[in-house]
Structure 1
Amino acid sequence: MSRAVLSIGSNLGDRLGHLRSVVDGFGDRVRAVSAVYSTAPWGGVAQDDFLNAVVLVDDPAFGCADWLGRGRELERAAGRIRDVRWGARTLDVDVVWCAELCDGKPVACRSADPNLTLPHPRASSRAFVLVPWLDVAPDAVLEVDGTPHPVADLLERLDPAERAGVRRTEFALTGAAS
């Protein structure tokens, strides 16, 4: 069994619809969904703002690579084209953190595979990941350079402008449409 934290984002087309497609696409594997946030694009490519959220998932039959595989399927279904690094996209699904159960306890997975680096190498510096993650897991811990850190502490260390750029919206990914 594995559990994963998925960071999802969209800034092209029906942004909210694309995010909802992830919640629908993971179905009964979804354990929690954060609020939806509006954030400026990251990476220096001129484009529209993103809608971002975090989804917590688990499944006894999934391993860490399965989360990435399903995320990529959902990206393709949303018409994702990978032609500009950090460019505009209909849907982005990143596996930020993953754990597998060992003796009944979750043990964080590590991977240096270029297709799935775990934990996500830039998650600790991205408020658009950390803020919604704390919505669904206030006690979350992320390993950075081999050392575990509370996600709340990582967020606090970021530049105040970075944190302020993550603005909660009135949108919801579950329940009645907002």
Structure 2
Amino acid sequence: MPAVTAFVGLGANLGAARASVLAALEQLAALPATRLVRASSLYRSAPMDAGGPDYINAVAELATELAPLELLDALQALETAAGRERPYRNAPRTLDLDLLLYGSTEIDLPRLQLPHPRMTERAFVLVPLAEIAPERVTRADLLRVAGQAVAHID
């Protein structure tokens, strides 16, 4: 299978959130049949639809030969290894890895929807994505989320 360009959103707001995101970037680079092409700067954002401390966020671009569900499984294994628990929707987390885009693939399964169904509603995804792949984010996308505070921290 030829390599596909995939984008992954990273976030954490429990424990050493910044260190968790940076470690996850290294772990993404070490996934089998996968190469980390580039990563955005780090950003701070308030939780959406939840409480808890601010999040540290980033977006990574990968070149991967893993199929979408294989990549999802690998991302979820990294979350589990980082102590991720899912007690309720939008709970604070030690690590959150969202598969945002996988080439031009569209998938609508209970486990995986591509493109990520809420990515265009979230400044903490669109701003770092626009940093590394401006062709993937429109001006209209950014205007829609302009009221959401996202601070560059790198």
Shorter-chain TM-score above 0.5: yes
Task: Tell me the alpha carbon deviations over residues 132-166 of structure 1, each in whole angstroms, 9 at most, x when there is no partner.
Answer: 001100111xxxxxxxxx433211233x321xx00
Q: 101, 126, 137: which is aligned to 1:97?
A: 101
Larger radius of gyration: 1
Q: How many residues align?
A: 148
Task: Give SS of 1:57's match.
Answer: strand
Does the aligned pair in 2 maintain the 1:2–1:64 contact within 8 Å? Answer: no
Q: 134, 139, 150: which is aligned to 1:152?
A: 139
Q: Which runs of 5+ in 1 are unaligned?
A: 100-107, 141-149, 171-178
How far apart are residue 66 of structure 1 and its match? 2.1
AA aligned to 1:85 is R
Task: Give SS of 1:161's match.
Answer: coil
RMSD: 1.2
How far apart are residue 21 of structure 1 and its match? 2.0
In 1, the alpha carbon distance for the partners of 2:139 and 2:57 equals 18
The percentage of aligned residue pairs carrying the same residue is: 32
In 1, the alpha carbon distance for the partners of 2:140 and 2:101 equals 17
Partner residue of 1:7? 9
Q: Does 1:64 align with 2:64?
A: no
In 2, the alpha carbon distance for the partners of 1:131 and 1:152 equals 11
Q: 128, 134, 152: which is aligned to 1:132?
A: 128
How far apart are residue 26 of structure 1 and its match? 1.7
Extract structure 1 runs of 4+ deviating beyond 2 A: 150-153
Structure whose residues are more often strand by fraction: 1
In 2, the alpha carbon distance for the partners of 1:113 and 1:2 equals 20
Task: Give SS of 2:80's match.
Answer: helix
Q: 150, 153, 161: which is aligned to 2:147?
A: 161
Task: Give SS of 1:8's match.
Answer: strand
Q: Does 1:33 align with 2:42?
A: no
In 1, the alpha carbon distance for the partners of 2:61 and 2:5 equals 7
Task: Tell me the alpha carbon deviations over residues 41-84 of structure 1, each in whole angstroms, 9 at most, x when there is no partner.
Answer: 011x221000000000012x311122211111110110000112
In 2, the alpha carbon distance for the partners of 1:114 and 1:21 equals 28
